[in-house]
Chain A
Amino acid sequence: MSGGRSKGKRLIPVPESLLKGLMDASSKEGKPLNRYIEEALQQAVKIFESGQNLKGLVHYFEILQSQKASGAIFTPLNVFDFMTNKVYATDKEKLLDVWFESGKWYGKYNTEKFLDPVQSLADLLQAARWDLTEVNVKKIDGKLKLRCTSTALTKEGTEMLLKFIEGALEGMNCKTLKNESMKGLILVEFTLCT
């Protein structure tokens, strides 16, 4: 590493265009340039030291912001499980309808909000449903395949999540071609309609 030294400080060369951007940003925040860069570096190091990266954090941030904007809230998992099992036993059809409609609303919201709503749905499920061990979307032979797996999800929970996904796909103007589910596993095959 090269660079000049003075009193515990070192001069670091960076591209002029980058430094110009940093100067603009620091003056917008009313901070001296050096302090602004040091703070940015400190935060970046903190992020990496905790095993994360900036891109990933921005991604999480966007998901969380869209969740807040779409009216999502946190609920204790065992309360959620109780409600699911209780309501499922007595009002299964009504419950599935509620999940489908919620999914549909979310799908429409997602289409408005993101350039790739399908991937964003998968990201949301991955980030917000930590009872899912795997969520992925693959394009095979012109068809899209969404797969969710979980070792913790109940049969009822799986069924409702599938309804939510079906609703979301309909809300995103996708056509479901095939779906399959069993306790802890959801497979949906669909195409994007233009």
Chain B
Amino acid sequence: MPKIRRKTFAAREDLIERTSAVAKKKGFSFYAFLNENLQQTLQAEEMGISLRSLIEERGLLKAAKESSFVLGLETLWYEMADIAYDKAKRRALNSWVESGAWLAKRYVSSGVKDPFLAFKCDFEAFTWNASELDIETEKEAVSIRIISPKFSESYTFLLAAFLESALKTFGYTRFTNDVTRGTIRMKAHRRKS
């Protein structure tokens, strides 16, 4: 077998120790683990994917699963929302309101330092279909702006009901809403805690 030519690089000892511990746990030698992972890193980079984005995207799916969100084709969701809204508007709105409250409650009770910030981050990540989405907080006020020409009218109203309910659970009151097909503008305030 031809001898493989090798070169060296310098790496921090603490990192090598951690890598070595993980390799051992997985039943690999340090060098086999190192080489395989560096190879895969390069392959991912060749595909235009960084390791950081891999971790972030996996985190998104995990967060969506924990928040009880399911993935489906946008057109399918809109058509179903349209039919449900047309047949039973009040109950359709109610189901979105309940979902908004449930989701917000999940963050409030999760023990994270800033539940609203955690909600905001996840909601922004889940709502990748919106062309524009801004959630801004200033002192005790929040303003939300969502724009998507693809949203159907019923979907826009249902999503607005979902958001309002979530914000209420976070303690926001005094809503000023402007909702039209494809556009949600919402402002709310809460008392100082």
Contact = CB atoms under 8 A, between A and B. Distances in A.
B128 A68 contact: yes
A72 B72 contact: yes
Interface residues of B, number: 77
Interface in B117-147: 126-129
B113 interface: no
A67 interface: yes
B98 interface: yes
Nearest to A24: B42
A83 B13 contact: no
Interface in B48-87: 49, 51-55, 57-58, 60-61, 64-65, 67-77, 79-81, 83-84, 87
A46 interface: yes
> On chain A, which size bracket covers the interface?
35 or more
Candidate in A9, A15, A75, A84 with the most chain B CB atoms within 10 angstroms: A75
Contacts, number: 241
Majority secondary structure of chain A interface residues (helix, strand, loop or mixed): helix
Nearest to A58: B44
A13 B7 CA distance: 5
B112 interface: no
A72 B71 CA distance: 6
A75 B13 contact: no
A15 B99 CA distance: 54
B54 A54 contact: yes
A34 B77 contact: no
A34 B9 contact: yes
A106 B84 CA distance: 23
Nearest to A65: B57
A9 B11 contact: yes
A79 B94 CA distance: 9
B193 interface: no
B96 A14 contact: no
A57 B54 contact: yes
B45 A25 contact: yes
Contact of B99 (A18, A45, A58, A79): A79
A19 B7 CA distance: 7
A61 to B, nearest CB: 5
Given A9-B13, A87-B84, A75 B72 contact: yes
A13 B8 contact: yes
B75 A71 contact: yes
B170 interface: no
11 contacts: A14-B6, A40-B38, A45-B19, A46-B55, A47-B51, A54-B44, A55-B40, A64-B57, A75-B70, A76-B103, A128-B61
